[in-house]
Structure 1
């Protein structure tokens, strides 16, 4: 987005307003009148909407910062840098946490760089600020922040394959759902759909931890860990040598004789309207095949032609798969 030609004071005023609204809308005592006033401010100028969207990302970063005793430190930013633009915003967001101040880069509280990536229209390869390579699956969104004592990625949705630059003193952490992956240098895949996360390790080693578990679980190459919201610990399994879970990197979705209950999460990540199951019986029907990830929308209408199912629609407009009852033989 091209920014308007504004003075620094005018631009900072918009940034301050966006930070204010971000804090108020996250507050438990935010009133309906405030929300209406925010909507009017947000819609009054595209720059307002742009700054508020950026502020939400800053809020997400602040939400994962460590809590500690308040320490007052002066933080300096290079003039006119993008991070400096959001310095006041970060301070406001941090003030909404149980803290009196923030310690900045030197104490590992604020990142020196902050990057947002998405792959809304197709597969995408990106290079992070530390030189790590990331492949993003269709519909994936993630944020990279470089702190003094760690490199942090937040996988908001989708799937990504990481080739992490080795740095033993600067660990690489991926937040996904209610857990995280911690590495120093390796190759691994992270898939997030709704409240479930699956991590597949190809090379090196990683530590997997769910938020509910203080200890971490190590993975070796050829192993896979998965967890859901509320799990006390990740579930670990050995992957098959010919596992098709990474076929998305070639633009393919491979369903290897899976039950529909297991296949739909893999299919739904590529759909605007996820497909639902009418009942548990429908979920046991098995499906196989290789599909282009850009053409998964065409798969759903064709399912009644190859499986004993028919399609209906629920009140939210989602397609629903229903099994066709088997006819009992007469006599």
Structure 2
């Protein structure tokens, strides 16, 4: 089946299959064999993965709906045709306009939902409320407009936000296990794996490192920053130092200001498809500096042995590993 010559029926079949897999993979009784079959289906054609990701995003938005206290769970019939599920979905679709209106008025469902991604180049988007977001390379986020809040979910990467003021409609950025809540301001959010760093330029923000405590959080003033990891009870708050270069990415630069490799690698790895690893804790203390183009970070890794007392190997997963030359690593 060629992606360039798909018929409408073929395209609909892929969309239906993506919806079916999304339902099945979220079922409690989904087996390992079914997950393996899904992976084979997903990898069989680029459009399969694309359609499944779209279904997954819809599922994530729907996941914010409250569950009825007396909901009845019906078991899936082993031999039931997926066409029957399709018919049920079609019947349910007749009620969607009313359900959507009720969901919006109660604050359960968004009136709009958008997905933004920056791969090979940086990207700037303007939301319907006038807020602007700059996306660094390798950044992915979603935006949902609810009745009581504007919500961004940062899935990976880094973004600079210039938020239009609306005290009745807070702007919330969810990152890892925490969130940043504002009404109108300018700030930057960087995330790598479970690490998050928030830098405030204007206005004020409330940073909460644990979404399970909705009443928690610490307020930042301009010139302050907050850091947290998943599982932190509260973020670490500090002042940004003079000439801080964390926002140099907006000019396409990565600035490493005499950082230990252990600190520098999260900044480097977020631009790489294969993250660089460290051989040991002693190697992590070797310091590195310089200004680099964010589009050429891959070449930075290969040049490290020319400027530092290190050499590169690869582990069994193919990741580059930095090793210190014997007798040159600082003591940990």
Say whether the fold is shared (TM-score over 0.5).
yes
Could you say which residue in structure 1 is the equivalent of 2:133? 134
- Structure 1 residues 155 and 106: CA distance shift in structure 2, 3 A: same
Match runs of 1:216-235 below 5 Å: 216-235=217-236
Structure 2 counterpart SS, 1:104: helix
Q: Distance in 1 between matches of 2:43 and 2:109?
A: 30
- Note if contact 1:127-1:133 (Cα within 8 Å) is conserved in structure 2: yes
The offset of 1:40, in angstroms, is 6.9
Match runs of 1:181-196 below 5 Å: 181-196=180-195
Q: Distance in 2 between matches of 1:307 and 1:131?
A: 46
Residues 1:310 and 2:308 are matched in the alignment = no
Could you say which residue in structure 2 is the equivalent of 1:251? 252
Could you say which residue in structure 1 is the equivalent of 2:114? 115
Residues 1:199 and 2:198 are matched in the alignment = yes
Q: Distance in 1 between matches of 2:321 and 2:48?
A: 39
Structure 1 counterpart SS, 2:109: coil
- Structure 1 residues 42 and 252: CA distance shift in structure 2, 3 A: closer
Q: Distance in 1 between matches of 2:70 and 2:165?
A: 32
- Structure 1 residues 285 and 41: CA distance shift in structure 2, 3 A: closer
Q: Distance in 2 between matches of 1:40 and 1:325?
A: 45
Could you say which residue in structure 2 is the equivalent of 1:282? 283
The C-alpha deviation readout for 1:39-72, integer Å capped at 9, x for no partner, is: 6765787765543221111122234x26465599
Could you say which residue in structure 2 is the equivalent of 1:21? 21
- Note if contact 1:71-1:103 (Cα within 8 Å) is conserved in structure 2: no
Query: Hey, which bits of structure 1, 4+ residues long, moved more than 3 A?
Result: 1-7, 13-20, 32-51, 66-72
The C-alpha deviation readout for 1:237-256, integer Å capped at 9, x for no partner, is: 10013100000000000011
Q: Distance in 1 between matches of 2:148 and 2:5?
A: 33
Q: Distance in 1 between matches of 2:43 and 2:191?
A: 32
- Note if contact 2:166-2:184 (Cα within 8 Å) is conserved in structure 1: yes
- Structure 1 residues 6 and 303: CA distance shift in structure 2, 3 A: closer
- Structure 1 residues 3 and 116: CA distance shift in structure 2, 3 A: farther
The offset of 1:269, in angstroms, is 0.8
TM-score, normalised by the number of residues in structure 1: 0.81
TM-score, normalised by the number of residues in structure 2: 0.81
- Note if contact 1:70-1:102 (Cα within 8 Å) is conserved in structure 2: no
Q: Distance in 2 between matches of 1:270 and 1:104?
A: 38
Match runs of 1:3-22 below 5 Å: 6=8, 17-22=17-22
Match runs of 1:1-331 below 5 Å: 6=8, 17-35=17-35, 38=38, 49-63=49-63, 65=64, 67=66, 69=68, 103-211=102-210, 212-214=212-214, 215-326=216-327
- Structure 1 residues 67 and 36: CA distance shift in structure 2, 3 A: same
The C-alpha deviation readout for 1:53-106, integer Å capped at 9, x for no partner, is: 21111122234x26465599xxxxxxxxxxxxxxx69x89xxxxxxxx995111
- Note if contact 1:121-1:138 (Cα within 8 Å) is conserved in structure 2: yes
- Structure 1 residues 256 and 50: CA distance shift in structure 2, 3 A: closer
Where structure 1 has 5 or more consecutive residues not aligned to the other structure, the ranges are 73-87, 93-100
- Note if contact 2:66-2:108 (Cα within 8 Å) is conserved in structure 1: no
